[in-house]
Amino acid sequence: MQSIRNIAIIAHVDHGKTTLVDKIIHASKIFRENQQFEDLILDNNDLERERGITILSKNVSVRYQDIKINIIDTPGHADFGGEVERVLKMADGVILLVDAFEGPMPQTRFVLGKALELGLTPIVVVNKVDKENCRPDEVQEAVFELMFNLDATEEQLEFHTLYGSAKNNWMGPDWKNPTDSIIPLLDAIVKYIPEPKIEEGSTQMQITSLDYSNFVGRIAIGRVKRGKIIEGQQYSLCKADGSTKRIKVKEVHVFEGLGRNRVTEVQPGDICAITGIEGFDIGDTVADLEKPEPLPRITIDEPTMNMLFTINNSPFFGKEGKFVTSRHLRDRLMKETEKNLALRVEPTDSEDKFLVYGRGILHLSVLIETMRREGYEIQVGQPQVLYKTINGEKHEPIETLVVDVPDTAAGKVIELATQRKGELLVMEPKGDLQHLEFKIPSRGLIGLRNNVLTATQGEAIMNHRFSAYEPFKGVIPGRVNGSLISMEGGACTAYAIDKLQDRGFFFVDPGEELYAGQVIGEHSRDNDIVVNVQKGKQLTNMRASGSDTNTKIAPARKFSLEEAMEYIQKDEYLEVTPKSIRMRKIHLNENERNKAAKMQDA
């Protein structure tokens, strides 16, 4: 039987995790000598490259000294925490990668905590020791302290440390004496990471992630815990409700290099992908046909928020995108549910509107951003949390919010959370940080992350988990200012904006093309007003000194996609196209808006 090591790589955003995997792949000679390739091989999605975050975990494998090493690249972002926890179940050890100057950072803490809880063996790699002002020895001590604070076991605290520079392609036990290759890291993996424990018994494989192919449909990925998975054989699929159904495995693939190889059978301890099975969910167990024994289930957080997705029907429709019809939108959303686990799509009474349910703002915004890059034009409504009526009373989703924050900023975080009906349950020191736990309504989380990060200079680590439905907590104050709305279509002028600056601030620059009903700024008061920003200056052939003073305009406020999603009101849509993000009123005509407002009041 072949010897295997399963290892996950943990690191804070931008500490060089994906670069390190690149170098391991090069060291194991997967590419032919003359083959061309890019850097950051694993962040193969544009959105991941730009944001510098890994959103989806990925599997690759390399061979070293006849040992197969399966490497799992994990998302470092707490928002994709569900993804991380599932993926760590496939590993026996972790490589913790830290920057030799910055040391262990907030995001690292969350994923490392999960890995230590699961009993995984850590190897610490202090990266970027070629940087100026780096302090590798202090960073190594900081990692030890962090692990101690996270209640690591004695064995975990005796971790092996390597120093190096992934960019310059070397690793070694001493940072003052650079080696000439990355091989010492591979030696350490072979020596310190345990082989998968092989248990006796009937076949068991838990599905921990999935992929989708246009040719074969959904592909189940997981680690074989016991027994073997053999191509063409029949097994039982153990579902969440305790039922089992008979399935036949069509093809079995193992990870080899950057791709997959088709094999006839997979040995226990290896990670594989199976095609041909229908109707499976994450957490289901592929088990023996005669006596199926399910593994304990992995929980997937249920959606707590929905947004209305509809086709773009603004006056600028079809100018920038190529997929604009309701058929395009429906097909794309249905395709997404095949591989995006926490997402649900429901049709509404209108053919061109769909309710999309997701885990939160970032989860939904990644979908919207991906769609706009593919050439879709869509409009989305204000994010809404999901209410339930239980015993005739309105209940709303409550989440457990965990914030780890430096001592000095704890007060600000408590204040921000309690303003949004958060209830402080736990406040205790956790090593060098204050550990805060709140019960907070899901709708209180909309816009909270930005405020907390601003108040704590980006040092807070926020993580939230759906807890339960509880009685409605009352009104949470939202945006208090009204909108400035464009009166007519056309390009706005600097002259008109200058004259209206005392009314509020603008989101548009002079010369930008607008349409009637577009939200172009924030009013300084709480009501909406319609303004004419297309009006030019009346020109005469008379000149007077002093009357032609230059206009001085405050710069337009620009929103990111997430900020715009959190900003819009109930009666507004966000128009998203491949090139633009615009806010608009649902009813572009002022009379229709007034009529709709009266009907709502009645």
Q: Could you report the per-residue pLDDT of 335-360, keeping only the tens digit for each?
A: 888 777 678 899 988 888 999 988 77
- Is 333 a domain residue? no
Segment 316-324 shows an average pLDDT of: 90
Task: Assign residue 569 the CATH number of its domain.
Answer: 2.40.50.250
- What are residue 427's DSSP bridge partners? 436
- Is 337 a domain residue? no
pLDDT digits (tens, 9 = 90+) for 145-178: 888 888 888 888 888 888 888 778 888 888 787 7
Q: What is the DSSP letter of 140?
A: H
Q: Which residue in this structure is represented by tokens 């390739």? A: 37
The pLDDT value recorded for residue 575 is: 94
pLDDT digits (tens, 9 = 90+) for 113-143: 888 888 899 998 888 888 777 788 888 888 8
- Is 23 a domain residue? yes
Best-predicted range by mean pLDDT (54-58, 292-296, 414-418, 538-542): 414-418
Give the pLDDT band of residue 574 (cuts 50, 70, 90).
very high
Q: Tell me how many domains the chain contains.
A: 4
What average pLDDT does the structure give for the chain?
Answer: 82
CA dist 587 → 42, 54, 379, 481, 504 (Å): 44, 39, 13, 19, 22
Segment 570-583 shows an average pLDDT of: 92
- Count other C-beta atoms under 10 Å from residue 224's C-beta: 24
CA-based nearest residue to 75, from 13, 160, 168, 32: 13
Query: 20 and 163 share a domain?
Result: yes
Query: 228 and 172 share a domain?
Result: no
Segment 260-268 shows an average pLDDT of: 88
Of 249, 270, 287, the last residue of a domain is 287
| pLDDT of 77 above 70 | no
Decide the pairing of beta strands 423-430 and 433-441: antiparallel
| pLDDT of 477 above 70 | yes
The pLDDT value recorded for residue 335 is: 84
Q: What SS3 class is residue 226?
A: strand
- Binding region for GTP: 14-19, 127-130
| pLDDT of 515 above 90 | yes
Which one-letter amino acid corresponds to residue 595? K
Of 471, 501, 526, the last residue of a domain is 471
The pLDDT value recorded for residue 484 is: 93
Query: 182 and 67 share a domain?
Result: yes
Domain that holds residue 153: 3-192
Of all residues in the chain, what percent are helix, strand and coil, respectively (each to 5)? 25, 35, 40
The pLDDT value recorded for residue 364 is: 86
Residues in the chain: 602
- Is 242 a domain residue? yes
Query: 427 and 496 share a domain?
Result: no
**Of residues 121 and 282, more confidently modeled:** 121
CA-based nearest residue to 181, from 263, 64, 297: 64
| pLDDT of 54 above 50 | no
**Of residues 393 and 179, more confidently modeled:** 393
Query: 11 and 154 share a domain?
Result: yes
Residue 413, H or E segment:
helix 410-419
- Is 252 a domain residue? yes
CA-based nearest residue to 166, from 178, 153, 148: 178
Task: Assign residue 69 the CATH number of its domain.
Answer: 3.40.50.300
Helix count (H) and strand count (E) of the chain? 14, 35
CA-based nearest residue to 146, from 188, 184, 102, 187: 102
Task: Assign residue 456 the CATH number of its domain.
Answer: 3.30.70.240
Segment 368-377 shows an average pLDDT of: 91
Query: 186 and 223 share a domain?
Result: no
Of 439, 471, 503, the last residue of a domain is 471
Query: 501 and 442 share a domain?
Result: no
Lowest average pLDDT, out of 36-45, 265-274, 404-413, 539-548, goes to 36-45
Residue 113, H or E segment:
helix 106-117
Query: 232 and 168 share a domain?
Result: no
Cα-to-chain-centroid distance, residue 299: 18
Give the pLDDT band of residue 277 (cuts 50, 70, 90).
confident
Decide the pairing of beta strands 121-127 and 160-165: parallel
CA-based nearest residue to 235, from 271, 198, 207: 207
The pLDDT value recorded for residue 519 is: 93
| pLDDT of 408 above 90 | no
Give the pLDDT band of residue 299 (cuts 50, 70, 90).
low
- Is 281 a domain residue? yes
Q: What SS3 class is residue 339?
A: helix
Segment 43-68 shows an average pLDDT of: 62
pLDDT digits (tens, 9 = 90+) for 195-236: 888 888 888 898 887 777 778 888 888 889 888 889 999 999
Percent of the chain exceeding pLDDT 70 equals: 87
Segment 27-51 shows an average pLDDT of: 45
Query: 130 and 161 share a domain?
Result: yes
Query: 130 and 268 share a domain?
Result: no
pTM for the predicted model, two decimal places: 0.72
| pLDDT of 37 above 80 | no
Query: 431 and 492 share a domain?
Result: no
- Is 127 a domain residue? yes
- Binding region: 14-19, 127-130
The pLDDT value recorded for residue 474 is: 84
Query: 34 and 146 share a domain?
Result: yes
Lowest average pLDDT, out of 66-70, 183-187, 548-552, goes to 548-552
**Of residues 143 and 54, more confidently modeled:** 143
The pLDDT value recorded for residue 39 is: 41
Q: What is the sign, positive or negative, of the torsion defined by CA atoms of 235, 239, 244, 248?
A: negative
Cα–Cα distance measured from residue 558 to residue 598, given in angstroms and rounded to the nearest whole number:
32
The pLDDT value recorded for residue 32 is: 37
- Is 370 a domain residue? no
CA dist 136 → 10, 104, 147, 472 (Å): 18, 11, 17, 51
